[in-house]
Amino acid sequence: MSPAPHSHGPWSGVRVLDLTGLSGAYGTRVWAALGADVICVEPPAGNPIRSMPPLAPGHEGPEASLWWAYYAASKRSVVLDPTDAEDAAALVKLIGSADVVLDDAMPAAQEAYPWLADAGEGGLGVAGIVERFPHLTWVSITPFGMTGPRRHWRSSNLVAWASCGLASTVGFPHGPPLAPAGEIGVLMHGASLHAVIGSMMSVRARNLAAAADEPALGQTIDLSLQEVGLWLSPETGVPLYLDDQVPRPRAGNRRPVTSPMGMYPASDGYVAIIAIQPAHWNAVAQWVHELTGNEGILDEIFIDIVVRREALEAVDAWVEELTTRFTKQELFVEGQRRRIPITPVNTVGDLRHDPHLEAVGWWRPEEHPVLGTYTVPGSPFTTDGDWWAWQRAPMLGEHTEDVLGELT
Amino acid sequence: MTVSAGRRPLEGVRVFEISIAVAAPCCGKAMAHHGAEVFKVEAHSYPDVARAFGSAWARDPELADIFCDTGPYVPEMSAGKRSVGLELKQPQALEAAKRLLATCDVFLTNFAAPGIAELGLDYESVKQVRPDIIYAGMTGFGVDPDKPYYPFRAFGPNQAPLVGWDALTGFPHEEPAGIPSIAPPDYMGGLHTMLAIVTALHERDRTGEGRFIDISQLETTVSFLGPYLVGQDLGVPEPFRNGNRVSWAAPAGIYPCAGDDRWIAVEVPDDEAWEALAGLAEWADVPAHDASGQSALSTYPHGTLADRIAHHDAIDTELAAWTSRRSPQQAAAELQALGIAAYEVLNHTGVLADPQVHDRRPYSIAPSPRLGRDLFVRNPVRMSATPPYVTRAGPNMGGDTVDVLTEIGYADDDVEQMVANGTAFVDARPDVVLERPFDRWYESVGIAEFYDAEGNITGGAQ
């Protein structure tokens, strides 16, 4: 039995067609679990996410990717081949049944879909689709937007971080710029959240217009990955720079504004410490003193952050005498007890066993007909309502018959 | 309430915001852009860091009382909001806040749970004033005092290490580089909160009921690691920081270009693009770096993804030799012509000169009560029928206190008395209008749309 879309949840009754890859997947995952009927329209070979590693060990084929297993949760899968005339017609019909379509094809493709021509709608681009289906919201998520001299340029999570100015500030002074958090794709997640929020806004505007007996209100949304990056990075953005004229070079994992400030070695990894306020420094100094007998560190002169910057190497060395004696989790718990802003530099393995996530019951088991049983993360936030309904990711084309059968 | 075509979808929605730094403010800002009326309720006794930062050029002691209005983070985080000055630790101010709350649809905060309870603005208290309130509380670790991290301190720069993002940033042979100078977890927390609030508004339209939303930023931001967390259970090796490489495309990286600290980001998306790259004649001139003694790029013209990942080091060396002979713009243009994702690693001045930024103008300039006009980033969701925008930068700290208190029914005498006794405050010297040192550049830099007080775009470069 294929799971049906759940019939409760705050967005039940809203249908979303997801034609995207990574730039839409996270946001539509959240929307689907909140009740929207999110249908992934896939080509016969499957959405490219289905082939992204890591794959479940011992598995290959369209169900093996853990990206798919995670990001397609609670969605449905319909396979349509837009080069086939019958499928193209079905796709147009399916679009007509939807409230929102999210598309990450390049602008040139979105401006003139051949499958729309096959369906008897020659030359119908995105603007034309909304004219034909006046209630529809069509979201174009593209590298640089639907307009401008670079609209046909390609991008990726890495390239988008480069294009918005943020990557230039991440990394060590001696090395190249870096994408934050590497391949987990933080910017792509941000784009998908913006795309879904914009879609929800559009649905709301449409519903309000309908309630007021106004004409159907559909629209297009033009979302550029470069501009998502600009929105996410005021710390490195143009308004701050124009104001202070201070360049923001790569400074590595410590900020040489004072000490301790940044990453310090623990016995099993690293911790991050921020001690700017005098109370925070005093707590660090007291702890170092208790542990190592260091008297000098208690000297009042070090309460001044400028003095600690001038004596950076010495103070860092003192702090390291403390941090290297404990595990990062020990430093986290005891440091926080002492009211020091300190956190462990967690790895994925650490998080799998994090005491908070275990205490709130975040993890839940999931069964998959191909991959078996495994543990998956819980909801990104909670409410006092019955909002969430999580289901395993759909298999390739699992809902094609159901969904097409519903279309009249 | 009616919204006609072109009206923004949150017009008529009123938001009570009590916030600090980025996480809640960026959510409130986005709501303001979509038409919500957002009241930023702030106090001198616990000022937002955006107020405390001020501006480097405004350190003259004569400007001390209006320093709080000068920081570039003020419009970046709060453009379009109204600022209400209330010292909530005083009962009379709390009473005023509750009268304002009674008119609001949404309560938004990222104060720590114990702190907001101390102010008397926990969910139960707010619900008594406004039973159908949508209450969004953003905390580090949730609102349950029985959970292990409940009393712990969480703020921006300490969040990325906690949720695994720092350990994944950097090269495998080095310490993690982390992201200590930026705060993407805060923005992601803000976006999740916005999504939750809009969902609750959608639900309330049908049910008439409010909602309590608990945004624990640990769960929210750890959610981005999903595929790897799932994999742990299935025996997938733990992921490790791997520079700028990705598991599904190669080569990918940031390579040096001609010039000082000039770089280009490159990601070859598929076999076709790789073949186009490997087919360039130039590889004959590039010294070989593979063990075979041949150029990796000429040896694997039809290499699969697995081949390219196996020889990534050699490919990187050769590609870097190629990019080093070009400016980033030239290299990007050549690579894009081959179907390869590539862009200059822009810094601030690079963004200012970027042709796409000039064409699409992703910044706004709008009237500011303290600075005449001011600059901030636009909402990236470009909606054709109901575009998001705000008509005001700022706000001045306490600049809307009198208007707002009057609107909710306070008599002029009451307002005067509250300002006189310090339970409320107004902006200092509202007649003093400063000018940012770069204000005169606005017309020439050409990165912003200019908005007037009615929301009309009045043109860019003039």
Q: Which helix (H) or strand (E) holds A271?
A: strand A269-274
Model confidence at A118, pLDDT cuts 50, 70, 90, reads low
Best of A163, A217, A316 to mutate (most B CBs within 10 Å, chain B): A163
Q: Inter-chain contact B247–A54, Cβ cutoff 8 Å?
A: yes
State residue B380's pLDDT score.
98
Q: Where does B88-146 have alpha helices with state H?
A: 91-101, 113-118, 123-129
Q: Which residue has the higher pLDDT, B394 or B251?
A: B251
Q: Which helix (H) or strand (E) holds A328?
A: helix A328-337
pLDDT digits (tens, 9 = 90+) for B200-247: 999 999 999 999 999 999 999 999 999 999 988 888 999 999 999 999
Do B29 and B147 reside in the same domain of the chain?
Answer: yes
Task: Count how many domains chain B has.
Answer: 2
Give the angle A175-A179-A183 at the CA atoms, nearest 5°.
125
Judging contacts by C-beta atoms under 8 Å, the chain A residues touching residue B75 are 239
Asked if residues B461 and B443 have their Cβ atoms less than 8 Å apart, the reply is yes
Q: Two tokens at A91?
A: 């796709």
Per the document, the length of chain A is 408
Q: Where in chain A is the domain with CATH 3.30.1540.10?
A: 261-347
Do B145 and B79 reside in the same domain of the chain?
Answer: yes
Beta-carbon contacts of B199 under 8 Å, excluding residues fewer than 6 positions away, are A10, A11, A34, A200, A387
Is the entire prediction scored with pTM above 0.90? yes
The reply to whether B179 falls in a domain is yes
Do B418 and B311 reside in the same domain of the chain?
Answer: no
State residue B288's pLDDT score.
65
Of A53, A159, A238, the CB nearest to B447: A238
The reply to whether B119 falls in a domain is yes
Q: Environment class of residue B413 by beta-carbon count within 10 Å: exposed (0-12), middle (13-18) or buried (19+)?
A: exposed
Judging contacts by C-beta atoms under 8 Å, the chain A residues touching residue B247 are 52-54, 183
Asked if residues A275 and A341 have their Cβ atoms less than 8 Å apart, the reply is yes
Do B331 and B406 reside in the same domain of the chain?
Answer: no
The reply to whether B343 falls in a domain is yes
The reply to whether B240 falls in a domain is no
Model confidence at A3, pLDDT cuts 50, 70, 90, reads very low
Q: Two tokens at B340?
A: 């390869």
Asked if residues A35 and A6 have their Cβ atoms less than 8 Å apart, the reply is yes
At B131, is the secondary structure helix, strand, or coil? Answer: coil
Give dist(CA B389, CA B378) in Å, integer: 7
Model confidence at A203, pLDDT cuts 50, 70, 90, reads very high
Q: How far is CA B28 from the centre of its chain?
A: 11
Of A164, A166, A351, the CB nearest to B222: A351
Of B2-16, B169-183, B247-261, least confident by mean pLDDT is B2-16
Mean pLDDT of A398-405: 97
Do B54 and B182 reside in the same domain of the chain?
Answer: yes
Classify residue A248 by its DSSP letter.
Answer: -
Per CATH, the number for A15-234+362-406 is 3.40.50.10540
C-alpha distances in angstroms, B328 versus A65, B115, B132, B265? 35, 49, 55, 9
Judging contacts by C-beta atoms under 8 Å, the chain A residues touching residue B169 are 170, 178-182
Q: Inter-chain contact B354–A336, Cβ cutoff 8 Å?
A: no
Model confidence at B461, pLDDT cuts 50, 70, 90, reads very low
Q: Where in chain A is the domain with CATH 3.40.50.10540?
A: 15-234+362-406
Q: Inter-chain contact A255–B201, Cβ cutoff 8 Å?
A: no
State residue B291's pLDDT score.
63
The Cα of A282 is separated from the nearest Cα of chain B by a number of Å equal to 16
pLDDT digits (tens, 9 = 90+) for B38-57: 999 999 999 998 998 899 89
Q: Inter-chain contact A224–B380, Cβ cutoff 8 Å?
A: yes
Of B151, B169, B214, the CB nearest to A383: B214
Is the bond preceding residue A54 a cis peptide, omega within 30 degrees?
yes
Return phi, psi of residue B84, to 5°: -115, 120
Best of B356, B378, B439, B440 to mutate (most A CBs within 10 Å, chain A): B356
Judging contacts by C-beta atoms under 8 Å, the chain A residues touching residue B5 are 209, 214-215, 217
At A264, is the secondary structure helix, strand, or coil? Answer: strand
Do B179 and B263 reside in the same domain of the chain?
Answer: no
Asked if residues B6 and A197 have their Cβ atoms less than 8 Å apart, the reply is no
Of B46-55, B190-199, B209-218, B452-461, least confident by mean pLDDT is B452-461
Mean pLDDT of chain A: 93
The reply to whether B235 falls in a domain is no
Among chain A residues, CA nearest to B221 = A380
Give dist(CA A94, CA A100) in Å, integer: 11
pLDDT digits (tens, 9 = 90+) for B91-114: 999 999 999 999 999 999 999 888
Question: What fold does the segment set A261-347 form as a domain?
Answer: formyl-coa transferase, domain 3 (3.30.1540)
Do B33 and B132 reside in the same domain of the chain?
Answer: yes
Above 80 in pLDDT, residue A121?
no
pLDDT digits (tens, 9 = 90+) for A309-341: 999 999 999 999 999 999 999 999 999 999 999
CATH number of the domain bearing residue B320: 3.30.1540.10
Do B380 and B335 reside in the same domain of the chain?
Answer: no
Q: Which residue has the higher pLDDT, B180 or A199?
A: A199
Mean pLDDT of chain B: 92
The reply to whether B244 falls in a domain is no
State residue B5's pLDDT score.
42
State residue A408's pLDDT score.
72
The reply to whether B445 falls in a domain is no
Of B151, B192, B342, the CB nearest to A380: B192
Do B215 and B284 reside in the same domain of the chain?
Answer: no
Of A183, A200, A336, the CB nearest to B153: A336
Do B324 and B402 reside in the same domain of the chain?
Answer: no
- Could you tell me where the beta strands, DSSP code E, fall in A151-257? 219-224
State residue B299's pLDDT score.
75
pLDDT digits (tens, 9 = 90+) for A256-271: 788 999 999 999 999 9
| Structural domain boundaries, residue B145 | 14-222+369-438
Asked if residues B454 and B439 have their Cβ atoms less than 8 Å apart, the reply is no
